[in-house]
Structure 1
Amino acid sequence: MGDKEVTGESDITALLSSAPYDQWILIHSSGWCPPARYKHAAEVVQEKLYVVGGSRNGRYLSDIQVFDLRTFKWSTLSPKLEPKSSNLENITSEETFPASAGHSLVKWENKLLVVAGYSKEPLDTVTVWSIDLETHYYSVVPTNGKIPTARGGQSVTLVGSKLIMFGGEDRRRKLLNDLHILDLKTMTWDILEAKKIYPAPRFDHIAAVHADQYLLIFGGSSHSTCFNDLHLLDLHSMEWSRPETQGTYVTPRGGHAGATVDESWYIVGGGDNQSGATDTIVLNTSKFVWSVATSVKQRDPLASEGLTLCSTTIDGEKLLIAFGGYNGKYNNEVFVLKHKPRDSIRPRLLQSPAAAAAAASVTAAYAVITATDDKNIYTTTIKSNIKGAQAERSPEVVAVDTHAISAEKKMLESRLVEVRDENSRLQASLDEMNNSHTELLKELKSVQGQLAAESARCMKLEAQIAVMQNRLEALRSIEHELEVLRHQKSQMEQDMAAAQRKPSGGVWQWMTSSAQNFEE
């Protein structure tokens, strides 16, 4: 969370004068606040943040809340059904604005367009709702052509007078990676066919457009994992590609939010089903360089899934507005970040060739230090070129604004300090990773030693088992011989018993036999 808080008694002027660049600031409303939520949609129109729908405790919301960025006060917009809207019979039976979540919100002319999203009604195709900000009427926008399958968690990007929709999840939980385009002038849908490898099917990703020609897709979720890949679609050649990026490593995430300011694509929040993303990251869309603008603590509302992020300009300052999300609890806080200009004021072009060369040299030096961390190139380039320009210029044609160059130099030196600090932080992270790698190697060797010992023990046990099996076979042979002997013994005992049962004459026969022998 930012290190400053602005209460409802303050105003936007006080915020802009005291807020640091690239730091999130929590704004407290002095009055009523709307229910906390996530998977809503938001857009800034005329210094007011419009929040439409969302989800809370498994229930879709239908309210439209408005936060005044001047007074820091909330109000509720209750649009009425447009009297001419007879085409709502098959869409909803309610008179209030229909409840939805996972939808997209786009400002078009004096209206807000709500595109797609999950709803209680079992719709087969994508519905487009219109909220008139002047009359406060809402209606379904009749569309024709190849209308896409109903879905939620898609990305919808405004390019000129057309909306480009990518991906999402249909009501049967099938993940999508198709491309559709809606012409807002004719309200006609069509399918976009692109060449080369499409991004994997996903939902809860984000999209942005660069130079009105390139559609960027980042991150998102499947049913089993989250992504951190960046895809680019050339809207002229209709070819997908995977641009190589530089800078900070970006963790996988889904349910994050993004908004562009000039060539900076700010991305906040999201998570990987285990923890929320705490870094507010920035992609330079012309150089494809990732960096970290600021960070918050775990469990901070800004480290949530399903939050929204909008960009606007107030009193000449470019601001980012974040709202809502879920990180174990539902949130309804409003955060503001003041965008730090990436390009400082350049000195005016000089009329003499020497002076023009000096200005060009300063510009080139700035580009070098912004694109790389090579401090030696920066120092040598800036000093040598300024000295060369000073040697060539003549007093009557010199129009160099020395104060601007000094300010430029100070800014670049400040940038150099930031780069050194970043290098130190990265070196510390690298050292920590190396230490972890060393410890893991030690653990691996220990486990390998244990496995070798266990393998030797297993071999010894197998040898003992073989000996025991041989002994067991010998025992079985002895048992067989013993069984034969038992059988022979039993047969002998039977023979002896039979012999004893034969008649013998007894004692009288013996006495008679003895007397006869005496007489003879």
Structure 2
Amino acid sequence: MIVHFINLEMHVCGVMETSGKIPVARGGHSVTLVGSKLIVFGGEDRSRKLLNDVHVLDLQTMTWSVVEATQTPPAPRFDHSAAVHSERYLLIFGGCSHSVFFNDLHVLDLHTMEWSQPQVQGDLVSPRAGHAGISIDEMWYIVGGGDNNNGCPETLALNMSKLVWSTLTTLKERHPLASEGLSICSAIIDGGKYLVAFGGYNGKYNNEVFVMKLKPRDLSHPKIFQSPAAAAAAASVTAAYALAKSEKLDFPQIIDLNFNGVENNVPKKDINLEINAIKEEKVVLESSIDEARAENSRLREKIDELKSNHTELSKELQSVQSQLISERSRCFKLEAQIAELQKMLESLESIENEVQILRRQKSALEQEMEVSSTQQQGSGGVWRWIAGGT
């Protein structure tokens, strides 16, 4: 088997040969990195045969090996998702056969190589395939997927230590995030953890980027920001930008207005935590605003440069067009001259034919004259003979 790799520092693609017990060609499988090893599970082969085997590629030796696991493995499937917990447990969730969609969870202990299907708690999870997953700390986040009829609008989180499902958010039907085949990754922006999702297919292919900010204090109501494909979080600061532009936020004053003369049972400690969290969010948003302004400035510079290039190209185009008009006029003149020369050649051919005819006539005339002269000479001799004889 040949493995392709990309050196991200040098931006170079390469191909590496592997050895060992190479798995069959497949698609719809999952690949998970554990240390310096890649774990491949499931998928379907070229004949669409469903698979549930496990193979390991050692990236240091580029050697394949097959895992001989015990206990009951997951049903053969493809388009599932996989994650690793504590560098020991391989988790397999969802996927489908050719007619059945799964919502089950299976765990492979990488130390004992035993499969198990643990009992999970929490929210009900709908069957799905083609979803995307990303693990952060002990949480496994699942986005999108579907069952060929409907997309899954729920964004899920599995606490891998407690095996508890929770629904972070539920979107509207036909939302781009309720798609199959989308991708997801995690990012840290100004100290905050974000999920970034892109693409997918839900009747049409999407190219939008969505960002979810994860808040440990309130995972049940995370914030989702939608943005264009080329600017992953720009639209997330639109409202904050308008608010910051009009007035500065003064959180102590807001609190005085809310609590002046009014009894409230909320502890001040919780209020202070909320204030600090909001202030931190304000700092993040202001930083995002500054980044957006800087990006706008760079875009303006690029636009000005493009305008300048457009002006120069327009002038060059006009020059080329004028040259083209001149060349066209020259071509017309040359074509007229060629037509005249062709006429002259035709007339020359007719003249040459006439000359040939005249030459033939001349030759015939000369022959006649020669014959006539010969006859005259012969006739004179006879008369001379007669006269002499007389």
Q: TM-score range by the shorter chain?
A: 0.5 to 0.7
Q: Trace 1:231-270 onto structure 2 (pairs within 5 A).
A: 231-244=156-169, 251-262=177-188, 263-270=193-200
Post-superposition offset of 1:127: 1.0
Post-superposition offset of 1:192: 2.3
1:215 aligns with 2:154: no
Normalising to structure 2: TM-score of the pair?
Answer: 0.55
Q: 1:284 aligns with which of 213, 218, 223?
A: 213
SS in 2 for 1:379: coil
Query: Any idea what the Cα deviations from partners look like across 1:197-248, whole Å, max 9, x if unmatched?
Result: 4322111001223431x332211121212223212333344333322479xx
User: Matched residues in 2 for 1:206 and 1:163: separation?
Assistant: 16
SS in 2 for 1:153: coil
Post-superposition offset of 1:103: 0.9
Q: Which residue in 2 is equivalent to 1:145?
A: 71
Query: Any idea what the Cα deviations from partners look like across 1:470-497, whole Å, max 9, x if unmatched?
Result: xxxxxxxxxxxxxxxxxxxxxxxxxxxx
Query: Any idea what the Cα deviations from partners look like across 1:330-375, whole Å, max 9, x if unmatched?
Result: xxxxxxx9999x9xxxxxxxxxxxxxxxxxxxxxxx9xx98x9865
User: Matched residues in 2 for 1:242 and 1:73: separation?
Assistant: 41
Determine which structure has more spread, i.e. the larger CA radius of gyration.
2
Whether the 8 Å contact between 2:153 and 2:170 is mirrored in structure 1 is: no
Q: Which residue in 1 is equivalent to 2:289?
A: 415
Whether the 8 Å contact between 1:245 and 1:289 is mirrored in structure 2 is: no
Post-superposition offset of 1:129: 0.9
Q: Trace 1:160-309 onto structure 2 (pairs within 5 A).
A: 160=86, 161-170=88-97, 172-212=98-138, 214-244=139-169, 251-262=177-188, 263-273=193-203, 275-286=204-215, 288-295=222-229
1:79 aligns with 2:4: no
Whether the 8 Å contact between 2:225 and 2:233 is mirrored in structure 1 is: no
User: Matched residues in 2 for 1:126 and 1:224: separation?
Assistant: 25
1:380 aligns with 2:249: yes
User: Matched residues in 2 for 1:376 and 1:383: separation?
Assistant: 19
Q: Which amino acid aligns with 2:198?
A: V
User: Matched residues in 2 for 1:204 and 1:118: separation?
Assistant: 14
Q: Which amino acid aligns with 2:183?
A: A
Structure 1 residues 412, 148: closer, same or farther in 2, change over 3 A? same
User: Matched residues in 2 for 1:240 and 1:377: separation?
Assistant: 42
Q: Which amino acid aligns with 1:292?
A: Q
Whether the 8 Å contact between 1:148 and 1:180 is mirrored in structure 2 is: yes
Post-superposition offset of 1:261: 2.1
Post-superposition offset of 1:382: 7.3
Structure 1 residues 267, 384: closer, same or farther in 2, change over 3 A? same
Structure 1 residues 110, 237: closer, same or farther in 2, change over 3 A? closer
Whether the 8 Å contact between 1:207 and 1:215 is mirrored in structure 2 is: yes
Q: Trace 1:471-482 onto structure 2 (pairs within 5 A).
A: none
* Matched length: 253
Structure 1 residues 116, 417: closer, same or farther in 2, change over 3 A? closer
Structure 1 residues 190, 97: closer, same or farther in 2, change over 3 A? closer
Q: Which amino acid aligns with 1:242?
A: T
Post-superposition offset of 1:270: 0.7
User: Matched residues in 1 for 2:76 and 2:121: separation?
Assistant: 24
Whether the 8 Å contact between 2:2 and 2:18 is mirrored in structure 1 is: no
Query: Any idea what the Cα deviations from partners look like across 1:111-144, whole Å, max 9, x if unmatched?
Result: 1111111114776762111111121211212211
User: Matched residues in 2 for 1:226 and 1:103: separation?
Assistant: 20
User: Matched residues in 1 for 2:283 and 2:195: separation?
Assistant: 26
Structure 1 residues 225, 373: closer, same or farther in 2, change over 3 A? farther
Whether the 8 Å contact between 1:63 and 1:97 is mirrored in structure 2 is: no
Structure 1 residues 135, 199: closer, same or farther in 2, change over 3 A? same
User: Matched residues in 2 for 1:150 and 1:293: separation?
Assistant: 37
Post-superposition offset of 1:159: 1.7
Alpha-carbon RMSD across the aligned residues, in angstroms, is 4.0
Q: Which amino acid aligns with 1:415?
A: I
User: Matched residues in 2 for 1:414 and 1:234: separation?
Assistant: 30
Higher-helix-fraction structure? 2
Q: Which amino acid aligns with 1:64?
A: V
User: Matched residues in 2 for 1:74 and 1:242: separation?
Assistant: 40
Post-superposition offset of 1:256: 0.6
Whether the 8 Å contact between 2:70 and 2:113 is mirrored in structure 1 is: yes
Q: Trace 1:41-80 onto structure 2 (pairs within 5 A).
A: 63-80=2-19
User: Matched residues in 1 for 2:73 and 2:207: separation?
Assistant: 38
Q: Which residue in 1 is equivalent to 2:313?
A: none
SS in 2 for 1:415: helix
Normalising to structure 1: TM-score of the pair?
Answer: 0.42
Q: Which amino acid aligns with 1:239?
A: V
Q: Percent identity?
A: 19
Q: Which amino acid aligns with 1:295?
A: A
The answer for unaligned runs of 5 or more in structure 1 is 1-61, 83-95, 297-336, 343-365, 386-407, 420-520
Whether the 8 Å contact between 2:45 and 2:51 is mirrored in structure 1 is: no
Q: Which amino acid aligns with 2:94?
A: G
